[in-house]
């Protein structure tokens, strides 16, 4: 079974305002409410791709109940821990001003609740997959992901981590199967600016040397790079298409890679599935569907013109 953990899920209130004016009353032209959080995005896309999974994490208050209702309505199983105090956060995302959003803080997660989550993770074993994605609330220490990985060590659980800086670096010694920084996050770790796929390759390899089995680097319109567990490095340009909504594209890439790996256990196939899923979400108002992913995969597999390079482009 695949499990995802989202420590601080949200309701995302996504609106567009045709002529936004600061300091005045504005009215929306469109609005939609969706469950949010990186782990939940992975769960939803996995479910869309036919991979059964269970979403774990913490919810609180009426917003928490709405998150659960919406997630389960999308076909995802959930086993959230209900917190007694606070409410799950609401994030406001303004579509008409690209990248503008106001994210809530979320409830405080106490030691007892963390212990309850750890108890649920103790049930995982050989053949299970655990995805740790996104930030954690300020009430929890940076080594939380590392402590989870340490607890699962030696049990045969395949782990995936999509997080930034210390959260990511603290897990590498435990040999996660997959980590997925974007190019900005990867550059931030090593104090460099990465402008293209070729520049990202040596730093992706560095993360492998530090313990990760696979390092998948998302690079938006530049495509992606995979420093793979077989010692090869795969690189691909992004498929052609119109960017509609970049939110969740990286999480969709994680889900696509996992689905591809579970299907064939081939790195090249998993890589292509990851790019197809990430791009399908970027080209859509909502997260990628199976049909959208399949269509992009078929359009681009084997093509070197605006699509996938159908070869291993670098050798370790």
Tell me if 101 sits within 8 A of 90, measured CB to CB: no
| CA nearest neighbour of 113 among 40, 8, 41 | 8
Cα dist from 210 to 172, 186, 188, 198, 215, whole Å: 6, 13, 16, 20, 11
Tokens of 87: 């409410």
Torsion of CA 183, 227, 225, 206, to 10 degrees: 30
**Contact call for residues 253 and 274 (beta carbons, < 8 A):** yes
Beta carbons of 197 and 218 less than 8 angstroms apart: no
Would you name the residues annotated as active-site residues? 251
């Amino acid at each position: 079974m695949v499990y995802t953990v989202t420590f601080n899920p949200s309701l995302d209130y996504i609106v567009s305002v045709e002529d936004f004016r600061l300091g005045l009353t504005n009215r929306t032209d469109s609005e939609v409410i969706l469950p949010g959080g990186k782990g939940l995005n992975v769960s939803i896309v996995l479910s869309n791709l036919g991979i059964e999974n269970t979403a774990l994490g913490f919810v609180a208050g009426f917003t928490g109940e709405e998150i659960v209702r919406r997630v389960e309505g999308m076909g995802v199983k959930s086993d959230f821990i209900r917190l007694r105090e606070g409410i799950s956060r609401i994030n406001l995302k303004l579509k008409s001003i690209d990248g503008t959003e106001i994210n809530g803080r979320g409830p405080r997660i106490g030691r007892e609740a963390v212990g309850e989550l750890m108890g649920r993770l103790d049930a995982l074993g050989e053949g299970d997959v655990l995805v740790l994605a996104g930030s954690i609330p300020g009430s929890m220490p940076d080594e939380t992901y590392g402590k989870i990985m340490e607890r699962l060590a030696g049990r045969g659980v395949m782990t995936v981590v999509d997080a930034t800086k210390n959260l990511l670096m603290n897990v590498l010694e435990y040999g996660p199967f997959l980590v997925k920084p974007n190019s900005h996050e990867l550059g931030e770790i090593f104090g460099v600016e990465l402008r293209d796929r070729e520049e990202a390759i040596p730093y992706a390899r560095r993360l492998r040397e530090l313990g990760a089995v696979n390092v998948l680097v998302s690079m938006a319109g530049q495509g992606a790079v995979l420093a793979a567990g077989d010692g090869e490095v795969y690189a691909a340009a992004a498929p052609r298409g119109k960017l509609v909504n970049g939110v969740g594209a990286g999480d969709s890439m994680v889900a696509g890679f996992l689905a591809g790996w579970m299907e064939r256990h081939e790195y090249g196939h998993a890589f292509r599935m990851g790019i197809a899923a990430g791009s399908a979400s970027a080209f859509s108002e909502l997260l990628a569907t199976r049909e959208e992913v399949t269509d992009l995969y078929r359009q681009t597999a084997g093509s070197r013109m605006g699509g996938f390079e159908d070869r291993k482009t670098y050798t370790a």
